[in-house]
């Protein structure tokens, strides 16, 4: 119930329209009609609605329909918007345990892990807003100092400058991170962009990779262990942003997994 209320509050003027669609999706989900639930949730995604509750419930619907890759991608979306969303984290971990290879999520670069270890608990939107806030505060304090010198203004300006740089660096790193994608089918990864190339390794539904190059329908991927190569872009679903619809990508992914914990309450 709280997820629905939160959606209405955040969608503002469009709350009535989207709340109706959200309720329709929840009703279909409760009835076991996961295809209808997915269609309703994805319609909102296609209309640029981005909210952690939406992606969480969409992930649950994909999980129940057997699309493990799409489910994991949507749990990742929910956590990107709200890193503290524990239900999404629990369901993500459950889904990853059901993948064939149990691959870890690819890690950021060493410098990012060392200097920005703290920013994984803060969303990109929040880091950007805080960076702008501290930067504006820095100039306000400098302006006050020019008009009327006040004790500790120099120290305050220095602290604000450091915070602005820290959160600005966090926002930049988040905005320029390699694209995260999830395999939505069994996918061979080759040395080059040719169907005849030697297969280096294989991805299976739910495996997460980063993507750093696109070329004529192919993408270069890298796993958490450092393995890399090329695979067809159609084998993957991308986490985003921007957030693209996943229901229009047809994948053969039969399955009848058990429901993740907490999904019923989140879909109501």
**How do residues 118-152 score in pLDDT, each as one tens digit?**
556 677 778 788 888 888 877 887 777 777 777 77
Q: Give the Cα separation of 137 and 157 in Å (integer).
A: 8
- What's the whole-model pTM score? 0.74
Identify which has the larger pLDDT, 249 or 212.
212
- Give me the CATH code for the 2-106+178-267 domain, please: 1.25.40.10
- 47 versus 147: the higher-pLDDT residue is 47
pLDDT of residue 210: 92
Q: What is the mean pLDDT of residues 259-266?
A: 43
The alpha helices in the chain, defined as continuous H runs, are 2-11, 15-30, 34-46, 52-65, 68-81, 86-97, 110-115, 124-147, 153-175, 263-267
What does the pLDDT read at residue 160?
80
**Cα gap 117→177, rounded to integer Å:** 14
């Amino acid at each position: 119930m709280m997820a629905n209320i939160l959606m209405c509050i955040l969608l503002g003027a469009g709350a009535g329209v989207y709340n109706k669609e959200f309720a329709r999706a929840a009703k279909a989900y409760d009835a076991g009609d996961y295809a209808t639930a997915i269609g309703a949730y994805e319609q909102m995604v296609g209309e640029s609605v981005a909210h952690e509750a939406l992606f969480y419930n969409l992930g649950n619907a994909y999980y129940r329909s057997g699309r493990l890759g799409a489910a994991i991608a949507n749990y990742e979306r929910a956590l990107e918007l709200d890193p503290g969303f524990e239900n999404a984290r629990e369901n993500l971990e459950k889904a990853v345990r059901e993948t064939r290879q149990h691959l870890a999520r690819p890690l950021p670069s060493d410098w990012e892990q060392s200097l920005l270890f703290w920013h994984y608990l803060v969303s990109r939107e929040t880091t950007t807003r805080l960076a702008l806030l501290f930067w504006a505060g820095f100039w306000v304090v400098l302006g006050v100092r020019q008009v009327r010198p006040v004790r500790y203004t120099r120290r305050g300006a220095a602290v604000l400058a450091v915070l602005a740089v820290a959160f600005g660096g966090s926002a930049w790193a988040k905005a320029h991170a390699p694209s995260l994608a999830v395999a939505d089918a069994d996918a061979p990864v080759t040395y080059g962009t040719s169907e005849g190339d030697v297969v280096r390794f294989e991805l299976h539904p739910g495996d997460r990779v980063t993507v750093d190059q696109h070329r004529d329908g192919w993408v270069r991927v890298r796993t958490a262990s450092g393995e890399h190569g090329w695979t067809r872009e159609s084998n993957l679903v991308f986490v985003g942003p921007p957030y693209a619809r996943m229901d229009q990508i047809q994948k053969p992914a039969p399955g009848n997994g058990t429901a993740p914990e907490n999904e019923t309450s989140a879909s109501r």
